[in-house]
Amino acid sequence: MTDKNKIYTAVTEMISISVQPRYEAEESNPAIGKFIYSYQVTIENNSFVKVKLLSRHWHIIDSIQIRREVKGEGVIGKQPILAPGGTFQYVSWCPLNSPIGKMYGSYTFERLEDKSTFEVAVPEFLLISDFKLN
């Protein structure tokens, strides 16, 4: 598997988060420092209780050390509920000012049976433009 097909995975509290990033060459313009990346996230509930994704917290860092944090409700405008064994998948995107960067973060989930909340780690994943892989 090449780096551009790499899938990053982390498991917390029996919730599995897998991320597959992709450089979007057709949307990017390196001449003006515009590098666009998409990433597909797969969330799997391997626990025995129904859970709801409440919020996200991202750390975004590029190779020229520009750091950003993004916090908000849900993902892509949704707060999915996952039954035991359930899966939710979505695609989002991120702009960078350099051809290399990384993201990591967490999701806050709620156990619907007792309304308790817990944090789930999103694994750190690399954002690398295709031309840097040559």
Any idea which residue has 């975004």 for tokens?
60
pLDDT band at 1 (very low <50, low <70, confident <90, very high): very low
Q: Please, what is the Cα angle at 80 between 78 and 84, to 5 degrees?
A: 170
Domains of the chain and CATH, by start: 3-132 (2.60.40.1470)
Instruction: Tell me the per-residue pLDDT of 40-66, one tens digit each, with 9 for 90 and over.
Output: 999 999 999 999 999 999 999 999 888
pLDDT higher at 132 or 44: 44
> Which pLDDT score is estimated for 2?
44
pLDDT higher at 39 or 1: 39
- pLDDT of 132 > 80? The answer is no
d(C-alpha 73, C-alpha 81), whole Å: 14
Name which of 41, 39, 25, 6 is nearest 121 in CA terms. 41
Instruction: Tell me the per-residue pLDDT of 14-37, one tens digit each, with 9 for 90 and over.
Output: 999 999 999 999 999 999 999 999
Name which of 92, 127, 97, 91 is nearest 34 in CA terms. 97
Q: Which residues contact 19 (CB under 8 A, 6 or more apart)?
A: 7, 8, 9, 39, 40, 41, 42, 122, 123, 125
- pLDDT of 129 > 50? The answer is yes
- pLDDT of 4 > 90? The answer is no
- Let me know if 114 is exposed, middle or buried by CB neighbors in 10 A (0-12, 13-18, 19+): exposed
Instruction: Tell me the per-residue pLDDT of 60-116, one tens digit each, with 9 for 90 and over.
Output: 999 988 899 999 999 999 999 999 999 999 999 999 999 999 999 999 999 999 999
Any idea which residue has 């960078």 for tokens?
96
> Which pLDDT score is estimated for 133?
55
Torsion, Cα 44 49 55 56, to 10 degrees, reads -30
